[in-house]
Amino acid sequence: MRLGTKSCAECRRRKVRCEVPQEGGACTGCVLHSIPCVPQQPRARPNKPASIYSASEAGAGGQENEALRQRLAHLERMMGDLRGDFDVQQDTTQFPDEYDDSDDDLNDNSQVHLDAPLPALWQTTPHIQSVPPRVTSNASQSIGSKSPKMLLALQVPPIPNSSDLNTLFQELEQYWVVWPPCTLGKTPRQLTSGQIHETKTAIIEAIYSNNPILVAKALLWLAFCVFQFPRPRIQRDMNLPKPARELIDEYLSYSEMAINSVDVFGHSMDELECYGLLWKMLFDMGKPRKAWQILRQAITSAMQLGLHKTSNHNDKRRKILWPMFWQTERQLSCILGLPSCTSDTHPGTTPDEVPNTTPLETASYKISIIAGKIIERDQIHSSSNFARTLRIDEDLEKLTDSMPPGFWEPEDPEQDFAVIYYSMYAKFRYWYLQKTLHMPYMLKSIKESKYQHSFDRAMDAARGMILLNHHSRQLGPDIMCEAMEFHGFSSAIVLLIGVLARQTPNDRTFKSDWDLLDMTSQDLRQTAVRLDCIVAKQGADALDILLATSRGAYAGKEDLTMTIPYFGQVKVN
């Protein structure tokens, strides 16, 4: 490059293209190498010297200085908060009354997966027909759509002030034990309850570390906290810098861009912990397809770091992350009707390579193996699938018998929260697999008696899921997880279809099932009100209409179109 071009001195020395963002500031090359961006020749000095903090400076240099001034001021405020010298006052947060219920949000920005278990059941159900999703413009940017090279030039989203951080952490620290692992600080350590001041310090150090992955991990942790904080209390008890949903979206957007930059910065355990937080956040927000995509990326990165070689698990993080990634990816693949990226012979998934130190860990491993078999069956679509289904069902029966004593009993409210959570999660996975295994054949039992076993097993699993969901609401505080609300709703749909397929006029055989359906509707409605959960609201609305129609009490249109969470609209004739 010739002297006199617009390239900076460093780009000219390295003989590379000098790209400056439209908003001005340092070029991307200097940002990526963390060096000052200096022009080849000094700019003409103004007649009157101006402070670097002057907002009246024109051009790219003034914009850069203004950004530096804003970040420095924000850092000073946060440091002051930590010392307790003063409290930052910000505009009152205006949290939306309800999440945006556009199709993009509700359907996970994806087309309907026709191979997923629930849509597949609709195809065999008379009078229910899927409505093709409408085509929407790509007006909103997808997460991570910006170039990773621009990452360091972007301003980090604002974080809550010290007082709000205290409020968040005090409310939610009891749940951290069941969140994905997250280590922060100069000497990485797991964020644990009872250390609020240390956690705040670690979060702020990460935010201003100039390491995009550490920044992303801290932002994801904060996003988790804001998302799980009780919705009605956000306006009353907190003074967030932006509306909660907008703040969460900014945290996720920045974090996704940081993860996409690993080709520049290299893979690391910090990156894997970001994946762990991100998939869980997306899943709880009701975006299982995106969570599945993140898990696939996580498994790829984990293998590049050697986590599939369990002999390399020389620290606790590796032991936790690898089984979490591959086992959860299988569960989501089963939910979405998609193939899994691991097999039972994949390195790191065989029985000899998986250390199962507790009965629940052993059960989780066996459930994941069975999930893999169901995925393989669903992808083959052969005539021998029913025989394969019966063999898989035998494995489920053996798993039932191998559970520890008292496993199937209701959880004791006096137990630790973590014990209750993991026990109920294992039951949820079991009931879901049993329901998914037999759903393709449950309605065939109407014409062929050989499928009666599948009908009974699918109905039992739906009842188990409904009772488990109901019991979880009685045990402890509300936890926001839109995906779990969907599973409660989908279990009610399976139960309703089964009842309608078998019930005759004045039949009292299924009275207890009707009671379960009414209970599910009430649970979903209460969750929608308490947590402002759009999935629960849509599920309750759809279930109420279906129950009224089934009882002959619906007075609406003959051709009814309703919205089903995740899977768009269906038409009921």
Query: Would the pLDDT of 8 be above 80?
Result: yes
Give the Cα separation of 239 and 92 in Å (integer). Answer: 5
Rounded Cα distance between 530 and 233, Å, is 11
Picking from 77-86, 265-274, 331-340, 419-428, which range would have the lowest pLDDT averaged per residue? 77-86
Q: For the residues 14-38, what does the mean pLDDT come to?
A: 79
Of the listed ranges 144-153, 252-261, 369-378, the least confidently predicted one is: 144-153
Task: Give the C-alpha separation, 428 to 462, whole Å.
Answer: 11
pLDDT tens for residues 154-190?
678 999 999 999 999 999 988 898 899 889 876 777 8
Q: What number is the average pLDDT over the span 132-156?
A: 50
Instruction: Identify the helix (H) or strand (E) that includes residue 451.
Output: none
The pLDDT confidence band at residue 78, using thresholds 50, 70 and 90, is low
Distance between CA atoms of residues 511 and 390, nearest Å? 29
pLDDT digits (tens, 9 = 90+) for 344-376: 888 888 888 777 678 888 899 999 999 999 999
pLDDT at 423 over 80: yes
The HSE-up count of residue 362 (CA atoms within 13 Å, CB side) is: 8
Q: Cα 63 vs. chain centroid, distance in angstroms?
A: 36
Q: What is the dihedral of CA 370, 376, 381, 384, to 10 degrees?
A: -60
Q: How far apart are CA 449 and CA 178, in angstroms?
A: 44
pLDDT of residue 412: 86
Buried b (16+ CB within 10 A) or exposed e, 530-552: ebbbbbbbbbbbbbbebbebbee
Residue 56 has pLDDT above 70, yes or no: no
Residue ranges with strand state E in 143-264: 183-184, 189-190
Per-residue model confidence (pLDDT) at position 562: 82
pLDDT at 63: 59
Structure tokens at 335: 């939910």
* pLDDT value of position 52: 36
Q: How far, in Å, CA of 337 to CA of 266, rounded?
A: 32
Which residue, 66, 53, 56, 52, is CA-closest to 23? Answer: 66
Structure confidence by residue, pLDDT tens digits, 407-418: 888 888 888 888
What would the two tokens of residue 321 be?
């992350």
Q: What is the mean predicted confidence (pLDDT) over 514-527?
A: 94
Of residues 331 and 555, more confidence is placed in 331
d(CA 215, CA 7): 29
Q: What's the burial of 1, exposed, middle or buried (CB within 10 Å: 0-12/13-18/19+)?
A: middle
* Mean pLDDT calculated for residue range 524-548: 89
Torsion of CA 231, 234, 236, 239, to 10 degrees: -170
DSSP string, 271-321: HHHHHHHHHHHHHHTT-HHHHHHHHHHHHHHHHHTTTTSGGG--SHHHHHH
- C-alpha to C-alpha distances, 415 to 215, 360, 411, nearest whole angstrom: 35, 15, 8
Give first-to-last CA distance, the chain, whole Å. 70
User: Tell me: the pLDDT tens digits for 85-119?
Assistant: 333 333 333 333 333 433 334 344 444 455 667 66
Biggest distance spanned by C-alpha atoms of the chain: 95
Residue pair 191/202 in contact (Cβ under 8 Å)? The answer is yes
- Give me the chain's average pLDDT, please: 80
295-304, 348-357, 444-453: segment of lowest average pLDDT:
348-357
Confidence (pTM): 0.74
Tell me the per-residue pLDDT of 188-234, one tens digit each, with 9 for 90 and over: 778 877 788 889 999 999 998 888 899 999 999 999 999 999 887 88
Residue type, 4: G
Q: What percent of the chain has pLDDT over 90?
A: 36
317 exposed, middle or buried (CB, 10 Å; 0-12, 13-18, 19+)?
Answer: buried
